[in-house]
């Protein structure tokens, strides 16, 4: 308005208001041409974008995100390239496309952190087992039982159980053993139905009798089973969140529909963006329909554990635990004359002190 007055000095006005002459003459030109409407901000988008991603490719990326709304740019890029046999732009470009179309929030980006974890060298060296926190269905609670192979992150069991008890857990685990064979070791927490930090459970002894070593995460250290815990986060984000389930059968149906995608299609960053199935193969150790007999060396002293878990040796009573009741155990000489090692089959489960008439359990615990 001041510049439009007769005799106005535009450069003096620029100095007064701290505006460069170039900017001032640009805005004055717009007003002269379009009136006050010329003061509106114009788009800064270039007239030509020769490096812009093809619209068809961008649409395919958005379509993939629609199918898997919890997958990030790297997973989507790898998944689409394998399915469509095409080469997409860099993951950073895929991320930019998702962000530009409102598919990624700042909070979501900040929530993702890189982790470094130890893994066992071969499939079936170690399986991690846990219950994910329960959720409500229209007919009661569902307790998801998860079993994951440490080496490959392949999920061997995702069961919709109605309770965290030994019998239904064992039945579901038998189905898993029949399908994939037996692992060499399994790790789980110290809670029911499989663990007790003070004594052995019948569930543990059942696994041990199958030739499976049992270990437990340290109390209050759930990160010991970090791969299974991380899977629980994925399960919540991609299946449970925002979903309503009629009953256990409905939950199991949704689990069964999604699990092949997780195991065989979903790229895993810890596996170099391969799917878990590319690194897993079934165990060569079949599940025996009948429990094998407990066998001991000829040099072992064999004793049968009594009804209350007590063990008799040379007139003394040692309490091994009620879970062992009715089973034979082997007493084996140690390097010390004052102690004996107690074996349950091939598993060293306790040490007897002959001098103090006491017994110390050797609970399998992963540090």
Say yes or no to pLDDT of 200 above 60. Answer: yes
- The verdict on 194 and 247 lying in the same domain is yes
pTM: 0.68
pLDDT in tens, 233-289: 999 999 999 899 999 999 999 999 999 999 999 887 877 888 999 999 999 999 998
Please check whether residue 296 lies inside any domain of the structure. no
- 263 and 351 within one domain: no
Tell me what the pLDDT averaged over the chain comes to.
86
94-132: pLDDT as tens digits: 777 887 777 776 555 544 544 445 567 799 999 999 999
Q: Is the domain of 203 the same as that of 327?
A: no
Q: Are residues 146 and 233 in the same domain?
A: yes
Distance, in Å, from the CA atom of 151 to the CA atom of 169, rounded to the nearest integer, reads 23
**Does residue 74 form part of some domain?**
yes
Average pLDDT over residues 80-93: 81
Question: Do 213 and 256 belong to one domain?
Answer: yes
Same domain, 202 and 153: yes
Distance CA 44, CA 145 (A): 53
Residue pLDDT, tens place only, 42-54: 766 665 555 566 7
Helix axes of 10-17 and 21-34: crossing angle, nearest 10 degrees: 110
- 337, 237: one domain: no
pLDDT at 330: 96
pLDDT tens column, 165-174: 999 999 999 9
CATH assignment of the domain containing 222: 3.30.420.10
Total domains in the chain come to 4
**Are both 273 and 133 inside the same structural domain?**
yes
* Residue 295 belongs to some domain of the structure: no
Length of the chain: 367
Distance, in Å, from the CA atom of 276 to the CA atom of 283, rounded to the nearest integer, reads 15
Same domain membership, residue 163 and residue 86: no
Position 213 in a domain: yes
Residue-range definition of the domain harbouring residue 90: 55-111
71 & 212 share domain: no
CA distances from 79 to 63, 202, 213, 326, 362 (A): 12, 44, 37, 54, 46
Residues 333 and 241 in one domain: no
CA distance 160 to 144: 5
Q: Indicate whether 347 and 307 sit together in one domain.
A: yes
């Amino acid at each position: 308005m001041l510049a439009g007055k007769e005799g106005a000095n535009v450069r003096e006005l620029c100095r007064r208001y701290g505006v460069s002459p170039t900017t001032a003459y640009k805005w004055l030109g717009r007003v002269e041409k379009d009136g006050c409407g010329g003061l509106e901000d114009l788009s800064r988008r270039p007239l030509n974008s020769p490096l812009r991603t093809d619209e068809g490719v961008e649409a395919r990326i958005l379509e993939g995100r629609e199918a898997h709304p919890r997958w990030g740019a790297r997973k989507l890029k790898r998944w689409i390239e394998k399915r469509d046999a095409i080469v997409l732009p860099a993951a950073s470009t895929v991320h930019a496309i998702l962000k530009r179309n409102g598919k990624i929030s700042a909070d979501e980006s900040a929530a993702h952190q890189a982790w470094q974890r130890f893994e066992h060298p071969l499939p079936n060296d170690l399986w991690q087992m846990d219950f994910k926190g329960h959720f409500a269905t229209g007919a009661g609670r569902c307790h998801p039982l998860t079993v994951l192979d440490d080496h490959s992150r392949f999920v061997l069991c995702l069961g919709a159980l109605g309770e965290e008890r030994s019998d239904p857990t064992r039945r579901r685990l038998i189905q898993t053993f029949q399908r994939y064979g037996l692992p060499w070791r399994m790790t789980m927490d110290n809670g029911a139905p499989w663990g007790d930090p003070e004594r052995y459970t019948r569930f543990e002894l059942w696994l041990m009798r199958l030739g499976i070593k049992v270990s437990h995460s340290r109390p209050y250290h759930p990160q010991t089973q970090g791969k299974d815990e991380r899977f629980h986060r994925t399960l919540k984000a991609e299946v449970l969140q925002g979903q309503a389930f009629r009953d256990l059968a409905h939950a199991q149906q949704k689990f069964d529909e999604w699990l092949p995608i997780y195991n065989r299609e979903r790229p895993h960053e810890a596996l170099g963006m391969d799917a878990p199935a590319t690194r897993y193969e079934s165990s060569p150790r079949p599940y025996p329909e009948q429990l094998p007999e407990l066998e001991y060396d000829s040099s072992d002293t064999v004793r049968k554990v009594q009804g209350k878990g007590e063990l008799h040796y040379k007139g003394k009573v040692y309490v091994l635990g009620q879970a062992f009741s009715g089973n034979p155990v082997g007493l084996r000489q140690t390097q010390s004359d004052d102690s004996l090692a107690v074996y349950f089959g091939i598993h060293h489960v306790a040490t007897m002190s002959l001098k103090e008439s006491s017994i110390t359990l050797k609970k399998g615990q992963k540090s």
